[in-house]
Amino acid sequence: MLRMRRYLVILVFGGLFLGLFIRLFCLQVVDRRRYVDIARKQHNLVLKVEARRGSIFDKYMDPLAMNMEVESVFCDPRIISDKSNMAEILSRELGIDAESVRLKLQRDKAFVWIKRKIDQAEYENLSSKNLRGVYFRPESKRKYPNDAMASHVLGFVGTDNQGLEGIELLYEDQLKGRPGRRYETRDARMRSVLRKEEASIPPHNGNNLVLTIDSVIQYIAEDELSAMVRNFNPAGGTVIVMDPFSGKVLALASSPAYDPNDLSSLLPEHIKNPAVSDVFEPGSVFKVVAAAAALEEGAITLEDKVHCENGQYRTGGRMLNDYRPYGEISFEDVIARSSNIGVVKVAQKLGEKKLFEYIQKFGFGEKTGIDLPGEVQGISRHPRVWSRSDITTIPMGQGIAVTALQLASAVSVIANGGYLMTPYIVEEIITWEGEKVKKNFPQVKRRVISEKTCGKMKQAMRKVITDGTGRSSASKRYETCGKTGTAQMASPAGGYYPDKYYATFIGFAPQEDPKISIVVVARDPRPLYFGGTVAGPAFKRIAERTLEYLGAEEIRSSSR
């Protein structure tokens, strides 16, 4: 009996040793390659090294978009024993859903992201707990130091720093750079113990953009746009300030704006840039096109008299009305007082074909070519599809749809002596070392009208402000020129809204040596809605503040 027990013990231990031997044989010989691969993957890592995204600067190299280093949280689920408890801790500390974290921790992976680009407080709280299986990796986060300033120009990036809107999207290939790779060995606690620099590939950083935007002028435009929104409650608004001679956009502001640092409450309808993507019937600001065309073609002079039918004129199967009745007045006064009847009579004398020719020359019905995404060409129909009444509506800005940027380019034609310029917003592209990759220069599209006609239009647009519909925009410091516009909003269902309007003002200053062109647009302001009342004062203040900043010469007779 004793002998049998001895044999049984020997048999049991022999079986155990044999099983252990077989297991070791399998681990060391049969499955050796598989486990070596697992160990290599765990400890010899190939890490993607993020390229530094290019920064975006204003014209004076003040940063508008830059990068900052923040921490991101990841886990190794394989070494986390109590996954449910860990999910609760991470959820509490990082403000994320516990169930989603728990599902991530159930994965059979050595690396899962928990939360990308956390703030400093979250990092300090979580790192102080020294949680097993929870690690941090530094990443680059896009930072917009001026918050909502120029948001529709800059756009924003996604979690992986890819451009999604604005300049960030359009110049993604220049800004993003190329990532590199780093090879390193880590211990069981995921600590780096050896970096193999000789095998690593360094990242190629993205290029920087220098814009034509002047942050001071941008601030002025946004400040006055905000004041107009407070005073007249429009559903939206746009301000553009441009150098009329070069086409450089010095400021572009739209309301509502958004903060690209915090997209959590961003509404989709606020993302697009209305300055280039929204079209509207311009109303009376479009009369400058018909007037310039008539003067250029010699169809009329500023001194010629036009009978405005005392406020009512039946033509083209419809009744035209003026806001105030006028009899016989000069064509200069037709422009200054914004007579619908006077402008239509002159346009009829000019003819459909010639009117359409100048509409095209001024750039309507085509994209301006600005380096911003989302630009549309507007709506400008050929005369062969015009109805009998179109010659009576298009000259006063109905039956045609334009963008605010097209208006800025068009009024710049009159300011600069007759040339349509291609507007642009990126001055140059440079490397981090300062080497120029690309430099943009002013581009003339075509001559639209003569310098002589521009002089006549400047005279008439000056009178708009001194004696016409734009008196609320008159400045005692600078000789400004402009044109008011008030247009009913077209309804998608057809026809027009009875109580919704676009209030617009276009102009430039000073008269003799224009430094800036300005467009101000208010969409559906309330309770007042006239262009001269709503947009005119904003034009005046933007012009005065900007010209003072630029050091423009004031009217010598002004008293302050």
476: domain range? 215-550
Number of separate domains in the chain: 1
Could you count the other beta carbons within 10 Å of the beta carbon of residue 343?
A: 28
Residues facing 253 on adjacent strands: 239
pLDDT of residue 71: 87
Nearest to residue 92, comparing CAs of 69, 115, 59, 111? 115
494-500 contacts at long range (C-beta below 8 A, 24 or more positions apart): 500/524
Q: What is the pLDDT along the chain (560 residues), one digit of tens a residue?
A: 666 766 676 776 666 676 666 766 665 666 666 655 655 555 555 666 677 899 999 999 999 999 988 888 998 888 888 889 999 999 988 989 998 999 899 888 878 898 988 888 888 889 898 898 898 888 888 999 999 999 999 999 998 889 999 999 999 999 998 877 766 666 555 555 545 555 567 778 899 999 999 999 999 999 999 999 999 999 999 999 999 999 999 999 999 999 999 888 888 889 999 999 999 999 999 999 999 999 999 999 999 999 999 999 998 788 999 999 999 999 999 999 999 999 999 999 999 999 999 999 999 999 999 999 999 999 999 999 999 999 999 999 999 999 999 999 999 999 999 999 999 999 999 998 889 999 999 999 999 999 999 999 999 999 999 999 999 999 999 999 999 999 999 988 888 999 999 999 999 999 999 999 999 999 999 999 999 999 999 999 999 999 999 999 998 754 43
Does residue 180 belong to any structural domain of this protein?
A: no
pLDDT of residue 137: 84
Within a domain: 31:
no
Residue 221: closest CA among 544, 553, 558: 544
Residue holding tokens 């311009």?
282
- Residue 78 belongs to some domain of the structure: no
Q: Is residue 446 part of a domain?
A: yes
The closest alpha carbon to 458, from 483, 476, 477, 478, belongs to: 483
- Domain presence at residue 512: yes
Q: What is the length of the chain?
A: 560
Q: 319: number of CA atoms within 13 Å, CB side?
A: 4
Determine the Cα–Cα distance for residues 283 and 501; give it in Å rounded to an integer. 10
Residue among 397, 416, 370, 422 nearest 252 (CA): 370
pLDDT of residue 495: 87
Three-class DSSP category at 152 = helix
d(CA 309, CA 359): 26
Q: Which two tokens stand for residue 391?
A: 């010659």
CATH number at residue 493: 3.40.710.10
Classify residue 361: in a domain, yes or no: yes
Placement of tokens 């449910």 in the chain: 84
Query: What's CA 460's distance to the chain center, in Å?
Result: 34
User: Count of alpha carbons within 13 Å of 543, Cβ hemisphere only?
Assistant: 32
- Whole-model pTM: value is 0.85
pLDDT at 560: 39
Closest C-alpha to 405, from 279, 285, 303:
279
| Integer CA distances (angstroms), 75 to 79, 110, 118, 135, 161, in order | 9, 7, 15, 6, 22
pLDDT in tens, 345-359: 999 999 999 999 999
DSSP state of 27: I
Domain membership flag for residue 504: yes
For 548: left if phi > 0, alpha if psi spans -120 to 50, otherwise beta; the answer is: alpha
- Phi and psi (nearest 5°) for 161? 65, 25
Closest by Cα among 351, 337, 335, 339 to 309: 339
Strands 208-211 and 56-57: parallel
Q: Which residues are designated catalytic?
A: 284
| CA–CA distance, 480 with 520 (Å, rounded to integer) | 14
Residue 23 lies in a domain: no
Query: Cβ distance 324 to 311 under 8 Å?
Result: yes
Of the candidates 406, 402, 414, 412, the residue with the CA atom closest to the CA atom of residue 487 = 402
The residues that bridge with 481 in the sheet, in sequence order, are: 508
Secondary structure (3-state) at 76: coil
At residue 559, the pLDDT reads 41
User: Going by DSSP bridges, is the β-strand pair 481-490/328-330 parallel, antiparallel, or unpaired?
Assistant: unpaired
pLDDT of residue 62: 96
b (16+ CB within 10 A) / e for 524-537 = bbeeebbbbbbbbb
